[in-house]
Amino acid sequence: MKPYIDKISELIRPKGIRHEIHSFDSGAFMVDIWIKNDFYCIQLFENKFGISKVTEENGFCTIPDKTYTEWENFKTELEKVINE
């Protein structure tokens, strides 16, 4: 999943989006991103891509709001989020 972390960074870095990358011994990765006043958590695990918008109402959950098995489908969703 590490190559996808690099691809995510390539998408968000040029936009100056604040982000933090976390890796876990399990091989999973998490990317926290802040866009304006919104906080999103991207999860990469078991060849799946997940994205969640974290709010005070729903808080953080280990189960993503949306999960994708194909990079291109996930990338389309991520581009929607970062281009809002």
Q: What is the pLDDT of residues 48-60, one digit of tens each?
A: 999 999 887 766 6
Mean of the per-residue pLDDT values for the chain? 91
Q: Which has the minimum average pLDDT: 30-39, 42-51, 56-65, 74-83?
A: 56-65
| Predicted pLDDT of residue 2 | 85
- For 61, phi then psi, to 5°, come to -135, 150
Rg, C-alpha atoms of the chain: 12
Residue at 84 is within a domain: no
Q: Which domain holds residue 10?
A: 2-79
pLDDT in tens, 21-32: 999 999 999 999
Statement: residue 62 has pLDDT above 80: no
Residue at 61 is within a domain: yes
Record the pTM: 0.87
Residue at 62 is within a domain: yes
Query: How many structural domains comprise the chain?
Result: 1
Element (H, E) at 66: strand 66-68
